[in-house]
């Protein structure tokens, strides 16, 4: 059972404070988890508690969140068995008492939730993916490698936030990762050859100034071929448009114009016809349910339509999406909802409803590798965790390499089967 819960303020990959939690069990096990943080956050995400004291870290300190763990959450769960994850998460939700974890902070609650799971796994001598997923956890995810960063993650004129390489044609995770990495290096040479900047954005992708969003996709096609692969068959493409960020006063301010959701949908239809795109995340804004339904009717049988800011890992919002035929996939971010239980519930609901689920990092990350384990534990088949650069991104890929080695011959790479069948 849980003996004590500790917490501290550490730093994330952007140099902002975040919370790390340690759980001590009666048997002496000590395990820790750190909480990530977004930049292009959805309005419906669970609440991230920050100090607001401008005298420290520009107001971004998390000492209040640390205190919430030490003073309230810890005492409320001490004595409970660490394998009682649902009880522990429910206890924290009840203790918080608000709809969006506003009182204690979703960051405090999530840190404890994840550290409890790790302690339970460590104490039973199981890797986290196996403790959570049981003997059937064996599917290695296809990575969505975000190799060009725009939008809120880079100070350039590129409106679309993320451009992914999706190495779906590989036989194994490690091979797919290598293909992605080789293409990442080819992309760097191509950027240099075109006189474009090779500085990195928040998620490790390059952040060049480009004349258009299509230009970024063209660069990826060139890089894939230069690296010796076939676009589409070997390595497909994907986008996170993060369009809530440029939705203003009822229209999308995209490439210098003001577009309606129907015009945005027409733009994506053209892109899907012209490029080997297998996934498009947040093509429309987080509350544009009608536009999203029309877009899904148009494109949902051709490409994966992923709700990130739209669903915010929230089973209630996902249920609405399922009922209204909005999207066909959910991005899953542990800190959008704030407990492991609710995260796993969102993945289960998606899978039961014929939606795919993609485990995802945040743009502000730490060396914590929990999401790599969650991807395998849930057999989700997809993970989005940035470019193969910057250690907080690479840490997740490296952990997946270790998991692949541990599963050995039983590891199955999701490959093309990760995506709905129509993308074949």
The binding site for Mg(2+) comprises 240, 281, 308
Residue from 22, 203, 286, 365 carrying the catalytic annotation: 203
Q: Which region holds residue 404: left if phi is over 0, alpha if psi is between -120 and 50, else beta?
A: alpha
Residue 85 interacting entry, from Zn ion, ligand PGA, none, C-beta within 5 to 8 Å by type:
none
Q: By CB under 6 A, how many residues form the interface with ligand PGA?
A: 11
CA distances from 99 to 5, 49, 177 (A): 24, 14, 39
Within residues 236-265, the interface with ligand PGA by CB under 6 A covers 240, 242
Applying CB under 5 A, among 45, 89, 203, 240 the residue interacting with Zn ion is 240
Largest CA distance in the chain: 61
> Coil, helix or strand for 166?
strand
Of ligand PGA, Zn ion, none, which one does residue 38 interact with (CB within 5 to 8 Å by kind)?
ligand PGA
In the set 308, 342, 392, 399, which binds ligand PGA (CB under 6 A)? 308
39 binds ligand PGA (CB under 6 A): yes
Q: How far is the CB of 309 from Zn ion (least distance, A)?
A: 6
> In this complex, which beta carbon is closest to Zn ion, that of residue 29 or of residue 279?
279
When asked if residue 40 is in the footprint of ligand PGA (CB under 6 A), the reply is: yes
Q: Are 384 and 144 in contact (CB under 8 A)?
A: yes
Q: Which member of 333, 365, 396, 399 is catalytic?
A: 333
- Over the window 286 to 315, marking each residue x when it contacts Zn ion by CB under 5 A and - when it does not, the resulting string is ----------------------x-------
CA–CA distance, 343 with 366 (Å, rounded to integer)? 19
The DSSP code for 157 is: S
Size of the site for Zn ion (CB under 5 A): 3
Query: What's the closest the beta carbon of residue 181 comes to ligand PGA, in angstroms?
Result: 21
- Encoded one letter per residue, x for contact with ligand PGA by CB under 6 A and - for no contact, window 125-164 reads ------------------------------------x---
Name which of Zn ion, ligand PGA, none residue 363 binds, using a CB cut-off of 5 to 8 Å depending on partner kind. ligand PGA
Window 44-63: residues binding ligand PGA (CB under 6 A): none
Contacts of the segment 229-232: beta carbons below 8 A, 24+ positions apart:
229/169, 229/179, 229/182, 229/183, 230/169, 231/276, 232/276
Q: Which two tokens stand for residue 242?
A: 């993060």
Binding residue for ligand PGA (CB under 6 A) from 32, 101, 362, 393? 362
Q: DSSP strand E in 345-421: where?
A: 356-360, 382-384, 412-413
Whole-angstrom distance, CA of residue 156 vs CA of residue 173? 32
Residue span binding ligand PGA (CB under 6 A) among the ranges 170-178, 214-222, 295-303, 358-366: 358-366
Q: Which residues are annotated as a binding site?
A: 161, 240, 281, 308, 333, 362-363, 384
How far is the CA of 321 from the CAs of 47, 295, 324, 423, in angstroms?
Answer: 22, 13, 5, 21
Sign of the CA dihedral 203, 206, 208, 212?
A: negative
CB of 282 to Zn ion, least distance (A): 5
Question: Is position 333 annotated as part of the catalytic site?
Answer: yes
362 contact choice in ligand PGA, Zn ion, none (CB below 5 to 8 Å, kind-dependent): ligand PGA
Closest C-alpha to 381, from 148, 116, 120, 173: 173
Expressed in angstroms, the distance from the first to the final Cα of the chain is 48
3-class state of residue 282 by DSSP: coil
For Zn ion, give the closer residue by CB, 74 or 338.
Answer: 338
Residue partners of 91: CB distance under 8 A and separation at least 6: 76, 77, 80
Determine whether 203 is an active site residue: yes
Interacting residues toward ligand PGA by CB under 6 A = 38-41, 161, 240, 242, 308, 360, 362-363
Interacting residues toward Zn ion by CB under 5 A = 240, 281, 308
Q: Which residues are catalytic?
A: 203, 333
């Amino acid at each position: 059972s849980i003996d004590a819960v500790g917490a501290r303020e550490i730093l994330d990959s952007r140099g902002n404070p975040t919370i790390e939690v340690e759980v001590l069990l009666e048997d002496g096990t000590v395990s820790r988890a750190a909480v990530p943080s977004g930049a292009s956050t959805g309005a419906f995400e669970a609440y991230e508690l920050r100090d607001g004291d401008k005298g420290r870290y520009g107001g971004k300190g998390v000492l209040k969140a640390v205190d919430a763990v030490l003073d309230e959450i810890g005492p409320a769960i001490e004595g409970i068995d660490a394998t009682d994850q649902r009880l522990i998460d429910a206890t924290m939700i009840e203790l918080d008492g608000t709809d969006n974890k506003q009182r204690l902070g979703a960051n405090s609650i999530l840190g404890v939730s994840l550290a409890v799971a790790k302690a339970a796994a460590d104490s039973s001598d199981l890797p986290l993916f196996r403790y959570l997923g049981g003997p059937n956890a064996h599917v290695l995810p296809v990575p969505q490698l975000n190799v060009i960063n725009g939008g809120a993650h880079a100070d350039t004129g590129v409106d679309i936030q993320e451009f992914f390489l999706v190495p779906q044609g590989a036989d194994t995770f490690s091979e797919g990762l290598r293909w992605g990495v080789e293409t990442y290096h080819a992309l760097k040479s191509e950027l240099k050859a075109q006189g474009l900047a090779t500085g990195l954005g928040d998620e490790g992708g390059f952040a060049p100034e480009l004349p258009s969003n299509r230009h970024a996709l063209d660069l990826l096609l060139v890089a894939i071929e230069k690296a010796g692969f076939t676009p589409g068959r070997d390595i497909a493409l994907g986008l996170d448009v993060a369009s809530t960020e440029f939705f203003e006063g009822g229209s999308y301010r995209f490439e210098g114009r003001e577009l309606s959701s129907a015009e945005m949908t027409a733009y994506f239809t053209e892109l899907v016809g012209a490029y080997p795109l297998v996934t498009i995340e947040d093509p429309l804004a987080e509350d544009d349910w009608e536009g999203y339904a029309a877009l899904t009717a148009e494109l949902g049988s051709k490409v994966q339509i992923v709700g990130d800011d739209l669903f915010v890992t929230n089973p209630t919002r996902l249920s609405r999406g399922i009922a209204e035929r909005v999207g066909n996939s959910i991005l899953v971010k542990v800190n959008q909802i704030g407990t492991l239980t609710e995260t796993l519930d969102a993945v289960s609901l998606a899978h039961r409803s014929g939606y795919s689920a993609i485990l995802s990092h945040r743009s502000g990350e730490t060396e914590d590798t929990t999401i790599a384990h969650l991807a395998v534990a849930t057999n989700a088949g997809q993970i989005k965790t940035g470019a193969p650069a910057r250690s907080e991104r690479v840490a997740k890929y490296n952990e997946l390499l270790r998991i692949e080695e541990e599963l050995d011959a039983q590891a199955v790479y999701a490959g093309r089967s990760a995506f709905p069948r129509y993308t074949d």
